[in-house]
């Protein structure tokens, strides 16, 4: 009886441990999906080179935080303590402990950092719900509208959004939209606010970078007779609506 009871206890304990392990692995998978490509992150972070202090809002495991810290002291903010622990370990391993600090906070409340004259932020909202991608900016966590309250207290802001975003949802924002591809694969879109905005529409191809800009994605190119070759524009160019701009250059 004692032996049978012990087996039952061990079986239940293993079941609980196994379930906890599965949940941890699922959480880590979600973290990996949210993490930025290092090359894309490094390219994006270079826009922040002229600011006194930087914020990485929704910093996850700290990849963007570390790239931002190459240009100015950076504070990473996330609500998840496990991600913050991983971010701190990554910063220490890469030698950036003196340039970064991490804060646990809810981004739907006020920002946890203030007092800098030249402060800019990068915001990476969660774009998955119940394991599925979210395309509407209203369903991000927190929603994109949250940035309207932040813009009064920071000099510049970049927001990572889904490259499959419904463009009509972001037309009301005074921001540049940039679509970025890496080795032919469309990776992300970014909204740039304030002094970080340098155009209305931008397509960037990495490695390079190679970039196209326009203030009007609705420009048209007069069509001619078919030539000897058919060019398929990069996915970033297609998504940004800059095929006509590219056509005028080739």
List, for residues 93-137, the tens digit of each pLDDT value: 999 999 999 999 999 887 877 767 789 999 999 877 767 787 788
What value does the mean pLDDT take over residues 136-143?
A: 87
CB 138 within 8 Å of CB 154: no
- Domain-by-domain residue ranges, the chain? 1-28, 35-213
What is the fold of 35-213? Rossmann fold (3.40.50)
Confidence of residue 248 (pLDDT cuts 50, 70, 90): confident
d(CA 163, CA 171): 15
Question: Is the omega angle on the peptide bond into residue 209 within 30 degrees of 0, that is, cis?
Answer: yes
What is the separation of C-alpha 86 from the centre of its chain, rounded to a whole number of angstroms? 18
- Residue 57's φ and ψ, nearest 5 degrees, are -95, 120
How far is 229 from 215, CA to CA, in rounded Å?
29
Q: At what angle do helices 2-34 and 81-93 cross, to 10 degrees?
A: 70
The predicted structure's pLDDT at residue 229:
84
pLDDT at 92 over 90: yes
Give alpha helix (H) positions in the chain. 2-34, 38-45, 63-68, 81-93, 147-150, 235-240, 243-247
């Amino acid at each position: 009886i004692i032996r049978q009871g012990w087996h039952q206890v061990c079986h239940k304990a293993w079941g609980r441990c196994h379930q906890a392990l599965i949940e941890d692995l699922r959480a880590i998978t979600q973290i990996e999906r949210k993490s930025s490509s290092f090359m894309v992150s490094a390219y994006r972070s270079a826009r922040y080179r002229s600011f006194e202090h930087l914020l990485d809002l929704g910093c996850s495991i700290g990849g963007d935080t570390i790239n931002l810290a190459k240009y100015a002291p950076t504070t990473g903010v996330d609500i998840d303590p496990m991600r913050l622990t991983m971010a701190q370990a990554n910063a220490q391993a890469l030698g950036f402990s003196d340039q970064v600090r991490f804060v646990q906070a809810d981004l739907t409340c006020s920002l946890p950092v203030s007092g800098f004259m030249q402060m800019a932020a990068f915001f990476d909202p969660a774009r998955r719900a119940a394991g599925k991608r979210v395309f509407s900016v209203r369903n991000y966590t927190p929603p994109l509208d949250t940035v309207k309250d932040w813009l009064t207290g920071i000099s510049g802001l970049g927001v990572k959004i889904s490259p499959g975003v419904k463009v009509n949802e972001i037309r009301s924002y005074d921001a540049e939209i940039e679509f970025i591809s890496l080795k032919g694969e469309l990776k992300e879109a970014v909204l740039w606010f304030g002094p970080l905005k340098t155009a209305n529409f931008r397509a960037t191809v990495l490695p390079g970078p190679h970039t196209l800009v326009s203030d009007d994605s609705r420009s048209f190119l007069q069509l001619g007779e078919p030539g000897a070759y058919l060019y398929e524009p990069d996915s970033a160019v297609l998504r940004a609506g800059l095929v006509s701009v590219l056509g005028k250059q080739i």
